[in-house]
Amino acid sequence: MINHAEERVQSNHLKDMVEEIFLKAGLDQKQAHSITKHLVKANLRGVDSHGVSRVGIYTKRLELGLVNKEFKPIHLKETPVSLLIDAQNCSGIPVAHYGMKRAIEKAKSSGIGMVGIQNSNHCGMLADYTRLAVEEDCIAIATTNAPSTMPPWGAKERFFGTNPISYGIPAGQEKDIIFDMATSKVARGKIILAEKRNQQIPIGWALSSEGTPTTDPKQAINGVVLPVGDHKGYGIAFLVECLSSLFTGAAYGPFIGDLYNNFIDKQNVGQFFMVMRADLFQDLDVFKHRIDQMIQEIRALPLMDGVEKIYLPGEIEMETELDRQKNGIPLGKEIVTELVTLAKKYNINESFIVQS
């Protein structure tokens, strides 16, 4: 969906202003930088639902004391290949970044590394974390649960969150594979973004509170999103929930604090990262050569009618990032207004909006 009232904003200008907002909201420099870099990266990749549209709700929860401004995660239980972290209710993005780094360290030394995080918050776009592992020649899987918005297949009442899962696989001469998906038909953030932009959503994304299909994002927010692939998506959402919460000790399903509607309780979201060295079973060069070979064979397959190119998982996001690095990030007027309002609130110069 395209909003014709958009501003094209250069990523460096956007980063400067958003980081200043988080500093004024009470975060230290390292956390403010980490969150800002992550959110703008999501916009660059075209994952606008997890980009700077989240600045408003993140700062609101910080102001209300619902998120711990201090970064002091605790190591609860550790082995050579695993670590359980209590995030102490700090911001989700910095602690998820920290957790993935610890998983990579363990994988590099022991072959495999697993990190679970409890008492966390919304951690944004999982692709940013699996990318870190791929850059270290590792294979990675990342999951996080989310507030209850999606029913198990066959039910009409919400239980699971959108429960995303991401994987990353290093390639050789070809582009690395970074895949990230919600187990709902669409990330709920896209519905929230559509509501901010006064846009309709496609039929089939969600049901109203009465259990009927809707194109109205307001009705969808009050209703339920549907699992991707029906019963198959439900099955993956179940696994994500088990790994992210039951395995780590975090809250699950209906017991997670709602990011947008619960301004009394903390979220207690859970994250799970598993990282494996890509050379565990065969030499790294051999593995990468085989990945490249498979990619090339996939690209050489005959195309369906109307299809111009076979994309690899995550390739569309990579192309979007190249375009937006050059031509700027498109921000709808509602998001621009929200950011400008926050900038004025914190007495920050809002002249970050520079046409590309």
Residue 218 in any domain: the answer is no
The 10s digit of each residue's pLDDT in 83-99 is 999 999 999 999 999 99
Residue 350 in this model has a pLDDT that exceeds 80: no
Contact present, 282 and 153 (Cβ < 8 Å) = no
Through-space distance between the first and last CA atoms of the chain, rounded to whole angstroms: 21
Record the pTM. 0.92
Question: Stretch 290-306: mean pLDDT, rounded?
Answer: 97
- Paired residues of 83 in beta bridges: 78, 115
Q: How many domains does the chain have?
A: 2
Asked if 335 and 271 sit in the same domain, the reply is: no
- Per-residue model confidence (pLDDT) at position 185: 87
Residue 190 in any domain: the answer is no
Q: What is the CATH number of the domain that holds 356?
A: 1.10.1530.10
Residue 203 in any domain: the answer is no
Residue 216 in any domain: the answer is no
Q: Which domain holds residue 282?
A: 71-184+227-300
Residue 356's pLDDT band (boundaries 50, 70, 90)? Answer: very low
Phi and psi at residue 180, in whole multiples of 5°? -150, 125
Residue 346 in any domain: the answer is yes
The 10s digit of each residue's pLDDT in 38-66 is 999 999 999 999 999 999 999 999 999 99
The 10s digit of each residue's pLDDT in 229-285 is 999 999 999 999 999 999 999 999 999 999 999 999 999 999 999 999 999 999 999
Asked if 75 and 57 sit in the same domain, the reply is: no
- Per-residue model confidence (pLDDT) at position 353: 58
Q: Is 313 exposed, middle or buried (0-12, 13-18, 19+ CB in 10 A)?
A: middle
- Per-residue model confidence (pLDDT) at position 2: 38
- Per-residue model confidence (pLDDT) at position 305: 96
CA angle 356, 31, 100 (to 5 degrees): 100
Contact present, 15 and 40 (Cβ < 8 Å) = yes
Q: What is the CATH number of the domain that holds 279?
A: 3.30.1370.60
Residue type, 41: K
Asked if 232 and 341 sit in the same domain, the reply is: no
Phi and psi at residue 181, in whole multiples of 5°? -145, 150
**CA count, 13 A, side-chain hemisphere, 30:** 9
- Per-residue model confidence (pLDDT) at position 210: 83
Q: Which of 52-61, 152-161, 318-327 has the lowest mean pLDDT?
A: 152-161
CA distances from 313 to 127, 156, 180 (A): 11, 31, 8
Residue 23 in any domain: the answer is yes
